Amino acid sequence: MSNQTVVEHFEISLQTPSGEVTTAVGVPTSFVPITAILPLMRSLGEEAQALEQRRLLEGGQRVSCQKGCAACCRMLVPISAPEAFALANTIDRLEQSERTRLLAQLDLANQRLAKAGLLKQLTSLAESQSPVTDEAIEPLNRAYYALRMPCPFLDNEVCSIYEDRPAACRELAVTSPATDCQNMTNEAIRPVPVAVRISTTLSLLWADLTATAPRLIPLPLAVDWATRHQAEQTRRWVGTELFEKALDKIWRYLSQEKARRSST
């Protein structure tokens, strides 16, 4: 009996507000975990963002973000359950010394959040059984940013998990001067528009698959959350069905984003 994985090939065409994303992908027809869909989702998100940036460049603007510019790495980063599982897996694969260092950094971050009175609120957010609105999260965002606490994965102002960083980190870029980012609440900051927020679509996908409420998990709590929900990560779905459900969420988001931009 052959153990070779069967792959079905798809041609994808996504109409984004800044142009068309066209690509070919191979999707396994076997049963796979939710984390198997992440590389494809991230790739589609980055291609959509590349179109946004190209449009701005053609209009005479440029993205001012560069390696070592990590002011935004003091903000509260929400990630989806699939991303939390993938992040925990990434850390498990690291060399023992690096894994120990990062886990210690996460522990220190949680201690600081507890001291600031935010850990309980952030934990409640991660475990919420009902959808949480942007308005409800905004006070937490501001309180978190007021700490100016570096991301636990930041090492000398450089991301130590760059290849595996969350979608929200990949999507944040600005065209305003980098100096303005010393205060991310500065109204002069001009963020690059985001065509499709991959963390949000993954959160909606996970909610659909598990019949639960969409949830976004604060990054410093993600590894602990994934560990406590480890049994959920063992679930498997047919790869092609998972892929089609994920695409449906992306198409819906793009449709809503196009309508939102048309009305502004």
Tokens of 180: 């303005």
Does residue 200 fall inside a structural domain? yes
Kindly report the average pLDDT of the chain as a whole number.
93
Residue 3 — pLDDT band, cuts 50, 70, 90?
A: low
Confidence check: pLDDT of 130 > 50: yes
Instruction: Report how many domains make up the chain.
Output: 1
148 located within any domain: yes
State mean pLDDT over 215-238.
95
Confidence band of 187 (pLDDT split at 50, 70, 90): confident
Write the burial class of residue 85 (CB in 10 Å: 0-12 exposed, 13-18 middle, 19+ buried). buried
Of 83-97, 120-134, 216-230, where does mean pLDDT reach its minimum?
A: 120-134
Categorize the per-residue pLDDT at 133 as very low, low, confident or very high, splitting at 50, 70 and 90.
Answer: confident
User: Using CA atoms in the order 74, 219, 113, 174, what is the torsion angle rounded to 10 degrees?
Assistant: 20
Task: Work out the pLDDT band at 4, boundaries 50, 70, 90.
Answer: low
Query: 68 pLDDT band (50/70/90 cuts)?
Result: confident
Q: Provide the b/e sequence for 198-212 (b: ≥16 CB within 10 Å).
A: bbbbbbbbbbebeee
pLDDT at 134: 82
Give the model's confidence band at 184: pLDDT under 50 very low, under 70 low, under 90 confident, else very high: confident
Say if 1 falls within a structural domain: no
The number of residues making up the chain comes to: 264
The helix (H) or strand (E) run that includes residue 158 is strand 158-159
Burial 144-162, CB ≥16 within 10 A → b, else e: bbeeebebbbbbeeebbbe
89: domain range?
A: 7-262
Task: Judge whether 2 lies within some domain.
Answer: no
Does residue 2 surpass a pLDDT of 60?
no
Ramachandran bin of 229, using left for φ above 0, alpha for ψ from -120 to 50, beta for the remaining angles: alpha
